[in-house]
Amino acid sequence: MKVYAVIMAGGVGSRFWPSSKEKTPKQLLKIFDEKTMIQDTIERLKGIVETENIFIVTNKIQKPEILKQLPYLPKENIIEEPFGRNTAACIGLSAIILKSKSQDAVMITLPADHLVRDLDSFNKTLNNAVQFAYESKGLVTIGITPSRPETGYGYIQIDENEVKENIYKVYTFAEKPNYATAVRFLESGDFFWNSGMFIWRVDSILEETRIHLPELYEGLEKIEKDINTPKYEKTLVNVYGQLRNISIDYGVMEKSNRVYLTKGYFIWSDVGSWEEVYQLSGKDDDGNAIKGNAFTDMTVDTLIYSPHKFTAAIGVENLIIVNTDDAVLVCRRDHSQDVRKVVDHLKINKLTEHL
């Protein structure tokens, strides 16, 4: 059994402005420790996937920095998308490339910008899922037991009868809920956070894509014919932009009857906002989370993220303060999801020097 990993690393991370920019998005930043998030993602695959079998999907703008941060990966393992077309196209492209190497290989698909703690438990979960995906030809996702009524995550409901050890049949996928619904999901005990991590055989995901997204699959077939030929790049550019812009969840996982969930008994976060960084960071006696050199006085429950500049905060509470070389963000912690509005404003007004 051959095992590959595909790391999706093309996102911009607009809710992490001003640190996250087009050339250096969230996954390329050192948010929690001395390694960037993508370096941490690769690191946690040690012992599961050989380095030469790890592939990164990204775009032309981010590719140089990824090569710089991951010099030990073969250059040909960086898959460059000519356009962003959502996860169904991204995963489909990766799958046809891996199919040319091994048709029944197991493909672990992970986002580049998630936080995972307790690597022993993570490795056990992943190894179990890999084995089941190979033997059953099922599509496996990792679900996280909810610790709170979170409205920022999608949910997955399961049949609580085990198919195999820690493998459950999926009943349904649920959109990001309102608070009351999230409370109901939490109390039910059979709903799990959708982690966005997937394990499947290459032939299985391509077959399910053919069934549920036939037009997208036809486009992939056109690209596949020219893989490893001089025509590949031209065909990729011509075809890829026409592929349907849809997530793998909406396009395949919600429709397939071959979907299973394995419970992840480890600490996980998709680190979707500065508020999430605050929650996951160590705090001082006043509840402040600080990265960089800062002075605080009468300041409580505040995130100060300023790795390269001295920052002072006096008499404030419940704020997010992010200080970079060319911009400063100050917002209330409960408005952290609104940071993307700044990015929209900069795009509309063509203030590209801040993007």
Which domains are assigned to the chain? 3-269 (3.90.550.10), 274-354 (no CATH)
* Residue 272 confidence (pLDDT): 86
H/E stretch holding 221? helix 214-225
- Is pLDDT at 188 greater than 80 in this prediction? yes
- Average confidence score pLDDT of the chain: 94
Assigned token pair, 337: 């999801």
| pTM, to two decimals | 0.92
What percent of the chain shows pLDDT beyond 70? Answer: 100
Q: Detail the DSSP E strand segments found in 175-302.
A: 191-201, 259-264, 267-269, 289-297
CA distance 220 to 99: 12
- Asked if 299 contacts 315 with a C-beta cutoff of 8 angstroms, the reply is yes
Amino acid at 218: E
Integer Cα distance of 75 and 281 in angstroms: 34
Q: CA angle, 120 as apex, 116 and 124 as ends, to 5°?
A: 100
* Helical pair 202-212 and 214-225, crossing angle rounded to 10 deg: 130
Q: Are 343 and 17 in contact (CB under 8 A)?
A: yes
**Residue 353: pLDDT band by 50, 70, 90 thresholds?**
confident
Strand ranges of the sheet holding 303-314, from the earlier edge strand across to the other edge:
289-297, 303-314, 319-323, 328-332
What's the confidence (pLDDT) of residue 240? 96
Whether the pLDDT of residue 12 is over 80: the answer is: no
276 touches 269 (CB < 8 A): yes
Q: What is the per-residue pLDDT for 318?
A: 98
